């Protein structure tokens, strides 16, 4: 079971990690790399980091599923909070062709919020799976010794 203090730590760590990954795609050729990292690899990083800091004693399957979902959703929210406004400002100032779709999104502002929420849920789902795989391999290799 996850207590409230661990939940806060997971949310803060993953939001900060998502915000850091939100700066990387401002270089247009790195957008898919950063997006893939946010979609798949936030939960394994958070799980391993929490285990390394001894915040969690043992990586369990059920706990990894919850941590994966929470960290995936909050990481994408951090990603969107950093990336979307900065890319919009860069599009307005420099007329960068790679960010043209963001200008269209912000002019249809009613579409941005549902898109961010649905993508956040998708990110939570994919990070739940990658967190599950991390816990599975962690248990497999620790019991093998």
Write the pLDDT tens digit of every residue in 52-65: 999 998 888 999 99
Residue for token digits 């990336």? Answer: 83
CA 86 centroid distance within chain: 18
| pLDDT of the residue at 3 | 87
Residue 109: both structure tokens together: 């502002």
What is the pTM for the complete model shown? 0.90
Delimit the domains of the chain by residue range: 4-144
pLDDT of residue 94: 83
**Dist CA 50 CA 60 (whole Å):** 13
Phi-psi region of 95 (alpha: psi -120 to 50; beta: other; left: phi over 0): left
Return the residue matching tokens 């093998």: 144
Question: Which tens digit of pLDDT belongs to each residue from 80-131?
Answer: 999 988 888 888 888 776 767 777 777 777 888 899 999 999 999 999 999 9
Could you tell me what percent of the chain has a pLDDT over 90?
A: 65
Token pair in block for residue 33: 């790399």
């Amino acid at each position: 079971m996850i207590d409230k203090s661990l939940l806060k730590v997971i949310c803060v760590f993953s939001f900060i990690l998502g915000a850091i990954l939100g700066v990387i795609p401002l270089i247009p050729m790195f957008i898919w790399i950063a997006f893939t990292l946010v979609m798949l690899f936030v939960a394994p990083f958070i799980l391993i980091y929490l285990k390394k800091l001894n915040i969690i004693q043992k990586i369990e399957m059920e706990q990894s599923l919850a941590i994966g979902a929470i960290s995936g959703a909050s990481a994408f929210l951090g990603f969107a909070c950093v990336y979307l406004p900065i890319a919009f400002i860069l599009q307005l100032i420099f007329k960068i062709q790679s960010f043209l779709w963001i200008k269209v999104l912000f002019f249809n502002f009613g579409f941005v919020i549902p898109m961010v929420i649905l993508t956040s849920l998708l990110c939570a789902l994919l990070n739940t799976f990658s967190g599950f795989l991390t816990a599975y391999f962690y248990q497999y290799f620790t019991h093998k010794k």
